[in-house]
Structure 1
């Protein structure tokens, strides 16, 4: 009866421990005055303790401690019997005469009425004791029963209030956990870098679902791929990072944890964790030392589960210190859902990585090998957008004509997918096939390309810059045409930078135009020409002029730089890569 789970749950909801309670002390004083008993008690009884939230007349140390062992409790007999008990002489009562309270408290006579909750469970007593034999009168018993009802009503009110608070906290927790899941989904989908995603996951969970956590991920081969740890308190950040490093350097320990989760085929929860057991299961004692420092009183391990085949690919370990308490069913359910969503993110990342690799190989296979040309140094880069399929419509090209002139081209077919890349390959080949062996200037060549796109019914809209470079005795004659593309930029030998703005002409593939312009420039040896696509200079909510200003600054500061380094500096001006970038840098000697 004393250890009934339902009764102990109700006692726990009262929150009455070894301390005085003003309301129950007043009732004890009232009972003492009205019944004229030397000892008056309001008791609440757990499985092994009797608390005294209200008392008058108890000797020390019980009066100060407000508790006593269950062995000293006379009221426990009321709880066990489930009814009022009245004893004139405890020394003559077979059930009570050996109770240590006879000697330690001086209790000789006793009367106690049960205090009950709304379900009739006895939680404690309102009791009186005397230090000599006593016959309790009917009026005294009636008064004790009435005041016991007052105490029971107060207990029931407090339990109802706590149940309401629990419901409110549960609703808030459910809302918080739903919010966490929503934010987590957004975070996991915001990056395809799975190490970054799992690190963010840990930082989001720590403090909201647990005091701290460890996230581990395995490769399909079984090797440990990722370990990260996070604590809600920034003061423990270094400890968490150190623990993650130690765990990553102890793959056998992490494999054992992952294997345990796989065997369990579900979450593993321990409400009473012991750092000593962790010390036995890890290859280095420092892991256990750090865990104890972070707080290792309860934990919950849930698998990170891939959606296909429901296979476990990792584990999320949530840990609480003593202050936060144990994990409940709600936290377990949320943790399982986090593991499921993290598993989907892992699968998506791996699939994306495979697709991105294929796309990058495809993209680079469609871009040309730059020729070796005496007196002209060429360097090119292609960078895919950081989102999407890592393949798009940007391209560059350079080839030598039979007459010794050099054709240079940079273009951008609209789109960021396989179709755009395929169209780009066709447009680039059309440029080569149409221009090679002909003396036409870039303007007429782009007009012919426009006619070909329409005549062949190619669904392309593209920008392009086409340049013909002819060496002569004093340098180079350069002619170019621009179809809706960002302007070429020239770094002169004297360090000045020219941006070749011209009146804009329409994109290729929209409306055929027979009179595209050709522009002429004299270029001196020692100059550097930059051709590029709009991903280099266009940023959301910013003018293209700002992007061109950035590359001007790089060119002015990097005139003496090796071409490869200069190209890297130019690409470094891009703060975010929402679009593909193709860059062709030409240095003339």
Structure 2
């Protein structure tokens, strides 16, 4: 506790710039060998029993180098500010030479007089590079003593030497701080970049939060708990692999212990900012308390996961260090806050993706045909969107029964795999149905009419398609088909052979075609399987289309005995990496 006469000195002693210099000097060992040598040199030259290189902090004086100081002060390396004569030098900013401190109004009540036998004092200021007084080079005698001018001058010169050493140490400490700050900034930037890259690589919010936990425990904390929207998502991760079983149990225990979870959320929702909190004492559930005790509950941060879109707290991350580790630094706290914001952005992206995907899936289902039930004809279809696009695309399939009992089947592909392609596909499919239904015309003629319709109605379509009509005959089926730039239909015969129905290429739908489209005819025995598909099933950018068709033929032969649904699944397995949509229509003819 400072006395009343010391209160006026506080503005000088508490100057932030001065204190920064004091603390930079005091970072090394105390006492310091170099400062000890200076103190010994002063004792020899001025013949005083006690000589000290003294650094004056706001609350104490640090004995950076000394000789003649008794224990316990010598062992502690410091004294309370109440025992300091040197603080008066710091406040005055100049040398003080006092023959008898008992007669000086500023010093006569100093406890060092009685406790240490200090009677005479002389101190010269030690300054930092900015001229601020950080301490003194001083001598103390246990008897009254008039300090001679030569002794004062000598002490002043040695204090200047000491000031030079101090300036070197401050410069070195400042350079080390700058280097550590740069390394810390680089580390934090690397951490933020890793978090961003990891979180943006998945649209699955649960996986994103698990990834976040792994990164945080590898780079920032010993263990963490991620909580989103109450108990809907709780995950825990520990740096120590031996704690994995505990961390796997923790979410279930935490979900049941709603009081503990709500404490986390309340803490961050109140201010929407990082909170330093002692949560260890608030864990009430015995099982949860046992796990957190084994994990090690030292310093902790509660970091809000904030939505940059809706400006609200979506959840929280509890970061915990074990007791033996130091507390989180201000830089780590700032980094944690930024990670919370980036995690919130990942959660919002996932939410928007799920919403858009749901809309896209509903749209796609509305555009794709519900296959009819036809006696003697079994239909199976699959549609898969491109993995690098939306959940909708321009591929389509269709099947319907004509009034005369024949069956029309079609598969087509509008260029693109996005919402616009899906919209064009819907128009094209409806035009095919509208033009073909009720007309006893060959598929080639139907596609020719479709070309004219597309041009007349200015439908911006460029599409491939296969259109086929299936009629029952006495011993099997008669199939007629037309192909507008589309991969060839495949026919799996009852004996396991596969036919590829190659025909001369014709232009895509929607492109100018000077000639009427042709129709091809095939006889199909009962028990055969006709396969229509889009190029996403066979096309590989690094191989010829023929190679993909042959791969599909091999899969057909190998799985000839499968049921309709199983055969569809097996055929999709041989598709190359999906950069395009896939539509598949399987027609089993009994």
- Report 1:7-86 matches (<5 A): 7-14=18-25, 16-19=27-30, 21-35=32-46, 40-44=51-55, 46=57, 51-56=62-67, 67-68=77-78, 70=80, 74=84, 77=87, 84=95
Gapped runs of 5+ residues in structure 1? none
Give the superposed CA RMSD. Answer: 4.2
Alpha-carbon distance change, 247 to 425 in structure 1, aligned in 2, over 3 angstroms: same
Output aligned runs, 1:136-535, within 5 Å.
136-167=147-178, 169-170=180-181, 173=184, 177=188, 188-204=199-215, 213-218=224-229, 223-230=230-237, 242-244=249-251, 246-264=253-271, 266-270=272-276, 273-274=277-278, 277-281=279-283, 283-284=285-286, 286=288, 289-290=291-292, 293=295, 296-308=298-310, 310-319=311-320, 323=325, 325-328=327-330, 335-386=336-387, 388-512=389-513, 514-535=515-536
Counterparts of 1:543 and 1:73 in 2: how far apart (Å)? 92
Query: Following TM superposition, by how much is the alpha carbon of 1:267 offset from its aligned partner in structure 2, in angstroms?
Result: 0.9
Distance 2:218 2:111 in 1: 53
Gaps of 5+ in 2: 1-9
* Counterparts of 2:491 and 2:44, CA distance in 1: 103
8 Å Cα contact 2:269-2:304 kept in structure 1 = no
Q: CA deviation at 1:509?
A: 0.7
Which has the higher mean CA deviation after the structures are superposed, 205-214 or 364-373?
205-214
Judged with a 3 Å threshold, the aligned counterparts in structure 2 of structure 1 residues 98 and 181 are, in CA distance, closer, same or farther, namely closer
Q: Secondary structure at the match of 1:395?
A: strand
Max radius of gyration: which structure?
2
Distance in 1 (CA, whole Å) between partners of 2:172 and 2:546 is 65
Q: How does the TM-score come out when normalised to structure 2?
A: 0.80
Query: Shift of the alpha carbon at 1:161?
Result: 3.8
The offset of 1:570, in angstroms, is: 3.4
Corresponding residue number in structure 2 for 1:4: 14
Q: Provide the rounded CA distance (Å) in 2 between the counterparts of 1:365 and 1:417.
A: 15
CA separation of 1:389 and 1:21: change in aligned 2, threshold 3 A:
same
SS at structure 2 position matched to 1:510: coil
Distance 2:294 2:79 in 1: 31
Structure 1 range deviating more: 44-53 or 416-425: 44-53
1:378 Cα deviation from its structure 2 partner: 1.8
**1:17 and 1:51 in contact (8 A); partners too:** no
1:473, CA displacement in angstroms? 4.9
Instruction: Tell me how far 1:565 sits from its aligned partner.
Output: 3.0
d(CA) in 2 for partners of 1:547, 1:205: 45
Which one is further off, 372-381 or 91-100?
A: 91-100
The worse-fitting range, judged by mean Cα deviation, of 194-203 and 353-362 is: 194-203
Are residues 56 and 202 of structure 1, via their aligned partners in 2, closer, same or farther at CA, if it must alter by over 3 Å?
same
Q: Secondary structure at the match of 1:369?
A: coil
Deviates more, 1:449-458 or 1:499-508: 499-508
The 3-state SS of whatever aligns with 2:232 is strand
Q: 1:552 and 1:51 mapped to 2: Cα distance?
A: 87
Instruction: Give the aligned length.
Output: 574
Report the CA distance between 1:60 and its aligned residue. 6.8
TM-aligned CA distance change 1:78 to 1:169, over 3 Å: same
Residues 144 and 577 from structure 1, CA distance in 2 versus in 1: closer, same or farther, beyond 3 angstroms? Answer: farther
**Distance (Å, rounded) in 2 between the aligned partners of 1:368 and 1:391:** 14
Q: Distance in 1 between matches of 2:381 and 2:44?
A: 99
Superimposed CA distance per residue, residues 397-425 of structure 1 (whole angstroms, 9 cap, x where no aligned partner)? 12233444432211111233443223212
Is the 8 Å Cα contact of residues 268 and 302 (structure 2) preserved in structure 1? no
CA distance, structure 1, for counterparts of residue 69 and residue 542 of structure 2 = 77
Q: Distance in 1 between matches of 2:346 and 2:56?
A: 51
Mapped contact 1:72–1:101 kept (Cα < 8 A): no
Assess if the C-alpha contact under 8 Å between 2:43 and 2:50 holds in 1: yes
CA drift of 1:158 comes to: 2.9
CA distance in 1 between counterparts of 2:428 and 2:203 reads 31
Aligned to 2:565: 564
Alpha-carbon distance change, 485 to 39 in structure 1, aligned in 2, over 3 angstroms: farther
